Structure 1
């Protein structure tokens, strides 16, 4: 079940203005992968930058949070809970701390939704100490009375997922399958879970670009899809309204208020957004939805491109005619073919690039293996790695629980060039925003690899040496 397609002109837009928008995305210093624009319920723009495809699942990071909010809204409508219920009421002695502070006792579902839990910082980094993430959350000190200023808190969203699972006996993903995804015709959803079997909620959802656009269109239509009220309109109105101020953020599109796991934006818009430039932007004034996947190092800069070049098109303003590029693509690495290596396999300890081993063969090709993202695995079979060679992108099937997606990765592409005595291998995990360059050199019986990541929560450049 796909969204209907239409020419831009048939939906009141200038085709030339849409072409200029695509050209602006392509020439931006932000790296865009896929884009889809829906106007009056019709897709008027869909573009992919080769080797990415909008039909592939893409890791959405914190776009996931808006889906979690929607699940809570459905559960509230079903009478399973109230947003004023206290968080501690959903958990038993095995999870609760021995002494429950006044601030923890006062924390409600509403505070989880609005990220006003009273914590000083995001709790997510403290949840992975062991398998009991919910217990770890509840054990953390709550410095302020809940309802205090907004502090971005992915751990709070995890708790919403944990609460829903306790109430329904279903994971968040399973709960949404029949209530949201199936009615929307979304069949590609995957969502990572914690070691305790709880859907992460705040991150880990993967969808295709059109599935993202469908969700945005549902919210734009106040929860109605093909005549059926899938999500209460009252919930979505509250979720996408300013519930708490977030003025302390640096960027203008992050200062417009926060709802129930939705961001308010400039120009009377709201959005779901995820790290490194994953966006579902709803523009009610112009009956439009924009879905974007990218590898953006500056999410505010990406949004500036939207407002500078898409908004005039929606407003019907005259824009300078700029030809749409004939081909949208992320080019493979170019340069001389690598020289031959020694054919030995060099292994590496734990490292931020998750690189486990490299074998540089005499024919100039190479074979790389990677550690699992969530736990470092040893003794992986050779077929669990990737081949690198010169020329165009080499497309290969992705691995289960791949290094930079944390879930089944549909495919990757690799390439390699030579740089003097070094082999420079490039890999793009097409199920997410991540790419990496590995500059490999052999000397004195060891391999040194300089790694550069395109986007990362950790440093993007570092060097590792084989064991």
Structure 2
């Protein structure tokens, strides 16, 4: 189904100074370590600013990484409201088949509320140890890792804890997270198609892997801002919203960064201002009750604290107590700026005419093993294609053709959505930037004609270890 548009308004009418939003955009432009992909700002229930940096577009899903956890928590809140799960039930009670295997008293004492709040009693992420103990069932592997502390006494950002919460909801409801959320959350909010990565057993990951639009993130934030009510209908219990968005456990001594030390709720972080869902590399759902505002972003950056700092520095002062008079000029300037957002393509010249035949003569091979981040990428080859080139990456025997056109970005949808830019920096060197459009990630590929080799490097490292052909939202045909 297609999403119903959010109510919209001018910034000034909702007490938002458009010049502050413009200053935020200027600050992003001046921050070389932050690549923004999208921005949505809601105030008093209305969308007052939104923009996507081309080649990213509003309708395209984006890998949200750990904002997935906030959707999982919402499913848990709905399940609790329906009596399917209880926060004070032992986790093991939902998996009776593991009863004989789980003997550690702290594992057996772990409650649903503990895995919901990253307070399982472990002092670090257990994902590798859990997978080592049981490669087929992450819940069983997690419960077999003895917590060194009593559940509820210590915070640890622990992926299997959220996976276990998602598995409890899926076990209690008898359906996948997406199937459970569709009639209870996604459809009522007007959220269209979403896709979730799954584990080997077919369960949706819960802790990561959700692909959804920025609009979906903004709608989730608006629902929580409104205390669980959407268009006059209560979707989430008020008690759940209150509990999920307050500190359930302290994390001030275990996490770096000013906005990661304010406490943790039920899959929401407390911030210096308000609270948020966040995902790796700059996926944010910032909820600001004191300003009656929601800010949703997608991005590609290691500097997540830096991105939040810019939000606090520029956007917070833009929220005023009352509608602004005389803001028409700034509103118009902001609308024009948002409509023209675009990422700069990689620089490069067209193929040197005298070398065109040489460039398409044979495949390029890895440069001395220096493609360690992509160990299965074994060849790159080029072929003329109309007014451009087809760049084909061969990974583990699978070929991924990419279109390299002229100046700007060239978008290819199949077999995975990409945008490619770049060109020749000299007659012997081709440099290409490959944006995997349904993820935060870019792959930089450099080919050398002199020795027929290539190098390939991720700008930010994907966390799911997927092959290139799967670097997008899961599809039914995949």
After superposition, the Cα gap between the structure-2 partners of 1:99 and 1:276, relative to the gap in structure 1 and judged at 3 Å, is closer
After superposition, the Cα gap between the structure-2 partners of 1:21 and 1:390, relative to the gap in structure 1 and judged at 3 Å, is same
Tell me whether 1:343 sits opposite 2:361 in the alignment. yes
Contact 1:358 1:366 in 2 (8 A): no
Match of 1:107 in 2: 110
Counterpart pick for 1:2 among 5, 15, 24? 5
After superposition, the Cα gap between the structure-2 partners of 1:3 and 1:149, relative to the gap in structure 1 and judged at 3 Å, is same
Give me the whole-angstrom Cα distance separating, in 1, the residues matched to 2:215 and 2:168: 29
Report which stretch shifted further, 412-421 or 21-30. 21-30
Match of 2:475 in 1: none
Counterpart pick for 1:296 among 292, 301, 307? 301
1:159 Cα offset (Å)? 0.6
Give me the whole-angstrom Cα distance separating, in 1, the residues matched to 2:251 and 2:363: 51
Counterpart pick for 2:373 among 335, 339, 352? 352
Give me the whole-angstrom Cα distance separating, in 1, the residues matched to 2:30 and 2:209: 30
1:128 Cα offset (Å)? 4.6
State TM-score, norm by structure 2.
0.85
Contact 1:343 1:362 in 2 (8 A): no
Structure 1: give runs of 5+ residues left out of the alignment: 372-377, 400-408, 459-467
Report which stretch shifted further, 238-247 or 362-371. 362-371
After superposition, the Cα gap between the structure-2 partners of 1:224 and 1:179, relative to the gap in structure 1 and judged at 3 Å, is same
Give me the whole-angstrom Cα distance separating, in 2, the residues matched to 1:210 and 1:99: 42
1:21 Cα offset (Å)? 2.8
* Equivalent residue runs for 1:37-186 within 5 Å: 37-93=41-97, 95=98, 98-128=101-131, 130-186=135-191
SS in structure 2 of the partner of residue 345 of structure 1: coil
Counterpart pick for 1:332 among 329, 333, 345? 345
Give me the whole-angstrom Cα distance separating, in 2, the residues matched to 1:199 and 1:141: 25
Counterpart pick for 1:419 among 425, 430, 441? 425
Contact 2:102 2:144 in 1 (8 A): no
Tell me whether 1:16 sits opposite 2:22 in the alignment. no
SS in structure 2 of the partner of residue 159 of structure 1: helix
Contact 1:133 1:196 in 2 (8 A): no
1:439 Cα offset (Å)? 1.0
Contact 2:102 2:143 in 1 (8 A): no
* Equivalent residue runs for 1:249-328 within 5 Å: 249-267=255-273, 269-315=274-320, 326=337, 327-328=340-341
Give me the whole-angstrom Cα distance separating, in 1, the residues matched to 2:122 and 2:237: 30
Tell me whether 1:211 sits opposite 2:216 in the alignment. yes
Counterpart pick for 1:361 among 357, 375, 383? 383
Match of 1:33 in 2: 37
Contact 2:409 2:421 in 1 (8 A): yes
1:370-420 deviations in whole A, cap 9, x for unaligned? 65xxxxxx443x5x4323344221110043xxxxxxxxx5x2111232234
Q: RMSD between aligned alpha carbons?
A: 2.6
SS in structure 1 of the partner of residue 180 of structure 2: helix
SS in structure 2 of the partner of residue 84 of structure 1: coil
After superposition, the Cα gap between the structure-2 partners of 1:99 and 1:395, relative to the gap in structure 1 and judged at 3 Å, is closer
Report which stretch shifted further, 16-25 or 275-284. 16-25
Contact 2:365 2:453 in 1 (8 A): no
After superposition, the Cα gap between the structure-2 partners of 1:240 and 1:337, relative to the gap in structure 1 and judged at 3 Å, is same
Give me the whole-angstrom Cα distance separating, in 1, the residues matched to 2:131 and 2:178: 21
Give me the whole-angstrom Cα distance separating, in 1, the residues matched to 2:343 and 2:96: 51
Counterpart pick for 1:386 among 402, 405, 417? 402
State TM-score, norm by structure 1.
0.87
* Equivalent residue runs for 1:176-255 within 5 Å: 176-248=181-253, 249-255=255-261
If asked which structure has higher relative contact order (CA below 8 Å, sep 6+), I would say 2
1:193 Cα offset (Å)? 1.1
Contact 1:35 1:54 in 2 (8 A): no
Give me the whole-angstrom Cα distance separating, in 1, the residues matched to 2:64 and 2:221: 14
Give me the whole-angstrom Cα distance separating, in 1, the residues matched to 2:162 and 2:100: 20
Give me the whole-angstrom Cα distance separating, in 1, the residues matched to 2:35 and 2:213: 18
1:99 Cα offset (Å)? 5.0
